[in-house]
Chain A
Amino acid sequence: MKFTWFHLMPWPHMPDDFRQKHRSVWVDLPNKMYQPELGHIAYHQYLDQLEYAEKVGFDGIGVNEHHANAYGLMPSPNIMAATLTRRTSKAALVVLGNSIALYNPPLRVAEEMAMLDVLSGGRLIAGFPVGTSMDTNYAYGTVPALTRERYAEAHDLIRKAWAADEPFAFNGRYTKLRYVNCWPKPIQNPPPVFIPGGGSVETYDFCLDNTYSYSYLSYSGYLRAKLLMEGYWKRVAERKADESPYRAGFAQVICVADTDEEAERLYGPHVSYFYNRCLHVYPGFADAPGYRTIKTIQSGALSQFAPGSGRDYPNMSWKDLTEGRYIVAGSPETVRQQMEELIKTLRVGNVFCLLHIGNMPDDKVRHSTRLFAEKVMPHLRNLWPDWKNHDDRFWCHPMHEPVPTRIAAE
Chain B
Amino acid sequence: MSFLVLKTPPAKVEVVQAGKGRDLLFLHGAGGHMPNDPLLATLATKYRVSAPLLPGYGRSEGEDGLRDMLDVTLHALDVMEKLKLKNPIVVGHSMGGMIAAEMASIAHTEIEKLCLLAPAGLWLDDHPIADIFAKLPYELPALLFHDAEAGKKLLTAGGGDMGDIEFLKQFLVMNARRLGMAGKLLFPIPDRGLAGRLHRITAKTLIVWGREDVLIPPIYGDAFKKAVSKSKLIKIAKAGHAVGQEKPAAVLKAIQDFF
Q: Which residues of chain B have C-beta atoms less than 8 A from A300's C-beta?
A: 165, 169
Q: Which residues of chain A have C-beta atoms less than 8 A from B179's C-beta?
A: 289-290
Task: Find the B residue at minimum CB distance from A282.
Answer: B134
The size of the chain A interface, using a CB distance under 8 A, is 28
Q: Which residues of chain A have C-beta atoms less than 8 A from B247's C-beta?
A: none
| Cross-chain contact B184 with A145 (CB below 8 angstroms) | yes
Q: Which residues of chain B have C-beta atoms less than 8 A from A141's C-beta?
A: 187-189
Complex Cα spacing A173 to B64, Å: 14
The size of the chain B interface, using a CB distance under 8 A, is 27
Instruction: Please encode chain B, from 112 to 147, with 1 for each CB lying within 8 Å of some chain A CB and 0 for all others.
Output: 000000000000000000000111100100000000
Q: Known contacts being A144-B133, A144-B183, A284-B134, is A307 close to B163, with CB within 8 Å?
A: yes
Q: Which of A162-170, A212-220, A291-299, A344-352 contacts B (4 or more CB under 8 A)?
A: A291-299
Complex Cα spacing A123 to B183, Å: 40
Q: Known contacts being A289-B133, A292-B176, is A145 close to B168, with CB within 8 Å?
A: no
Task: Output the least CB separation between B138 and chain A (Å).
Answer: 11
Task: Output the least CB separation between A139 and chain B (Å).
Answer: 10
Task: Output the least CB separation between B54 and chain A (Å).
Answer: 13
Q: Which residues of chain A have C-beta atoms less than 8 A from B172's C-beta?
A: 297, 302, 305
Task: Output the least CB separation between B48 and chain A (Å).
Answer: 33
With an 8 A cutoff between CB atoms, is B181 at the interface? yes
Complex Cα spacing A354 to B178, Å: 38
Task: Output the least CB separation between B23 and chain A (Å).
Answer: 32
With an 8 A cutoff between CB atoms, is B180 at the interface? yes
Task: Output the least CB separation between B60 and chain A (Å).
Answer: 14
Instruction: Please encode chain B, from 28 to 46, with 1 for each CB lying within 8 Å of some chain A CB and 0 for all others.
Output: 0000000000000000000
Q: Which residues of chain B have C-beta atoms less than 8 A from A145's C-beta?
A: 63, 180-181, 183-184
Q: Which residues of chain B have C-beta atoms less than 8 A from A282's C-beta?
A: 134
With an 8 A cutoff between CB atoms, is B177 at the interface? yes
Q: Known contacts being A138-B188, A146-B67, is A298 close to B135, with CB within 8 Å?
A: no
Complex Cα spacing A137 to B189, Å: 11
Task: Output the least CB separation between A224 and chain B (Å).
Answer: 17
Complex Cα spacing A396 to B165, Å: 43
Q: Known contacts being A144-B133, A285-B134, is A294 close to B173, with CB within 8 Å?
A: yes
| Cross-chain contact B180 with A289 (CB below 8 angstroms) | yes
Task: Output the least CB separation between A203 and chain B (Å).
Answer: 17
Q: Which residues of B contact A (CB under 8 A)?
A: 63, 67, 133-136, 139, 162-163, 165, 168-169, 172-173, 175-184, 187-189
> What would 23 A/B residue contacts be, using CB atoms closer than 8 Å?
A27-B134, A138-B188, A141-B187, A143-B183, A143-B187, A145-B63, A145-B181, A145-B183, A145-B184, A173-B67, A285-B134, A288-B134, A288-B183, A288-B187, A289-B176, A289-B178, A289-B179, A289-B182, A290-B179, A294-B177, A297-B173, A302-B172, A306-B168
